[in-house]
């Protein structure tokens, strides 16, 4: 069984800038994910579940594990001088990291949702980390600026997620397909368990919070009713965990689509473009799927603000196509 470390080394020559820097970055993410996995798995046993009295940039209650996960990835990436910039759902603004020795300039910025779905922690539902990596576009002898983070999703050099579920799995892409690695907790080693992942043909799972039905766009209401009609050639089924990484991963393995449309509470959609939609969209497309905001490709959106939200329809290509058509004609 190939380990994640071996896989990274074997494939690092795929990059035009194969300085080993991206490999070191992915290894730092691997290290942090093991620390977070350890805390998530014992959350019920120590006083680490539950909320802090802090709120993050979006005025969302910060769960203690959110804070821990953010610190773990920040430490792994910043203290090891592997990136020149770091942005997170848990940080108000991006963090510029100047390299101590000028000849060792780092060229990558990382954007992360350190613990997506954290409201599920106290009810023991799977949560995940989502990360997105870009090569900086500003001169390397200057501190990073917002422009380095506000790049189109199509410019990502890597993206992935870690799902802390019944097993802990790390999924990532660097633009050469999608591969999954499952953690052997006894050894603390990730092993290649899902090589060259692709969405199954003809998915039939739709994942959406129907509690918001009355506020959905007409096309989404029509799509949901279409899925529920009994004359369909493929009987659809509804599955919704309330944790994007869990729902997306199940759809990637079993075939389906995840929808988060505009709602009354989130008229621009709830999910964040930069560290949720873009990395998930990169993975979806690399696995033969699609990701749109109802009309345009997620990866083509020009970001304007670090924490901006957008609607997300992602997964099975034919199902995303159906959704876009229902939105276009209703």
Interaction site with ligand P6P (CB under 6 A): 116-117, 119, 209, 242-244, 247, 270-271
CB of 247 to ligand P6P, least distance (A): 6
Kindly tell me which of 71 and 119 has the beta carbon lying closer to ligand P6P: 119
Question: How many other CB atoms are there within 10 angstroms of residue 100's CB atom?
Answer: 7
Kindly tell me which of 65 and 244 has the beta carbon lying closer to ligand P6P: 244
CB of 49 to ligand P6P, least distance (A): 16
3-state DSSP assignment of residue 64? helix
What b/e sequence results for 111-136 when a residue is b if at least 16 CB atoms lie within 10 Å of its CB, and e otherwise? bbbbbbbbbbbeeeebbbbbbbbbbb
CB of 296 to ligand P6P, least distance (A): 21
Kindly tell me which of 182 and 243 has the beta carbon lying closer to ligand P6P: 243
Measured CA to CA, the distance from residue 92 to residue 90 in angstroms comes to 7
Phi first, then psi: what are they for 151, rounded to 5°?
Answer: -95, 155
Measured CA to CA, the distance from residue 296 to residue 318 in angstroms comes to 15
CB contact at 8 A, 254 and 198: no
- Structure token pair of residue 258: 């995840």
Measured CA to CA, the distance from residue 199 to residue 209 in angstroms comes to 22
Kindly tell me which of 119 and 318 has the beta carbon lying closer to ligand P6P: 119
CB of 272 to ligand P6P, least distance (A): 8
Kindly tell me which of 116 and 148 has the beta carbon lying closer to ligand P6P: 116
CB of 322 to ligand P6P, least distance (A): 20
CA atoms in the 13 A half-sphere facing the CB of 126: 21
CB of 263 to ligand P6P, least distance (A): 7
Kindly tell me which of 270 and 307 has the beta carbon lying closer to ligand P6P: 270
Of 105, 67, 86, the C-alpha closest to 29 is: 86
């Amino acid at each position: 069984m190939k380990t994640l470390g071996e896989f990274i080394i074997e494939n690092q020559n795929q990059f035009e800038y194969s300085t080993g820097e991206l490999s070191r970055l992915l290894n730092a993410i691997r290290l942090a994910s093991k620390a977070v996995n350890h805390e998530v798995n014992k959350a019920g046993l120590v006083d680490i579940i539950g909320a802090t009295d802090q709120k993050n940039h979006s005025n969302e209650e910060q769960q203690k594990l959110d804070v821990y996960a953010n610190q773990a990835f920040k430490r792994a990436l910043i203290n090891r001088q592997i990136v020149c910039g770091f942005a997170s759902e848990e940080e108000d603004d991006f963090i510029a990291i100047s390299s101590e020795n000028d000849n060792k300039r780092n060229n990558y910025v990382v954007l992360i949702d350190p613990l997506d779905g954290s409201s599920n922690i106290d009810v023991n539902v799977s949560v995940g980390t989502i990360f997105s990596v870009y090569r900086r576009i500003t001169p390397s002898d200057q501190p990073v600026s917002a422009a380095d983070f506000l790049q189109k999703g199509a410019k990502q050099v890597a993206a992935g997620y870690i799902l802390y579920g019944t097993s802990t799995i790390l999924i990532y892409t660097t633009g050469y397909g999608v591969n999954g690695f499952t953690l052997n907790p006894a050894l603390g080693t990730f092993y290649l368990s899902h090589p060259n992942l692709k969405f199954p043909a003809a998915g039939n799972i739709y994942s959406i919070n129907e509690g918001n039905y009355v506020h959905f766009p007409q096309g989404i209401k029509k799509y949901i009713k279409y899925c529920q009609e009994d004359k369909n050639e493929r009987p659809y089924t509804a599955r919704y965990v309330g944790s994007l990484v869990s729902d997306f991963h199940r759809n990637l393995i079993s075939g389906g689509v995840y929808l988060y449309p505009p709602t009354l509470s989130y008229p621009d959609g709830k999910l964040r473009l930069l560290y949720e939609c873009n990395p998930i969209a990169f993975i979806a497309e690399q696995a033969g799927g699609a990701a749109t905001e109802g009309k345009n490709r997620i990866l083509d959106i020009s970001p304007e603000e670090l924490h901006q939200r957008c609607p997300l329809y992602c997964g099975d290509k034919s199902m995303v196509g159906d959704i876009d058509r229902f939105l276009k004609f209703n």
